[in-house]
Copies of this chain bind each other. A is one copy, B any other.
């Protein structure tokens, strides 16, 4: 069975987390996970990039400790590590998700 490496909570660094979340595509993934339920396969995210780039972004998120990925057949199910992140960096994830939403609303009302 294939194994996916995840950082232990005490190895999760604010530096990697913020770098990961600085990318709009990765924030889109995080937001969809926050909006919807857990265990969404990578293919459920209709990202405007190629497959290999998509893999790249999911990996960055996993290695930063932001998502958990586990195999289920050929698919990979993705889950936000909200509890871990909230413990380590209280309010951070919520703030970023909220920010993204309000930005979307702002730019929509401008158009």
Contact = CB atoms under 8 A, between A and B. Distances in A.
A95 B102 CA distance: 17
A92 B88 contact: no
B90 A13 contact: no
A18 B99 CA distance: 11
A91 B10 CA distance: 23
15 contacts: A10-B106, A13-B103, A14-B96, A18-B18, A18-B96, A19-B22, A22-B22, A88-B102, A89-B96, A89-B99, A89-B102, A90-B98, A91-B95, A92-B95, A92-B96
Interface of A: 10, 13-15, 18-19, 21-22, 24, 27, 88-92, 94-96, 98-100, 102-103, 106
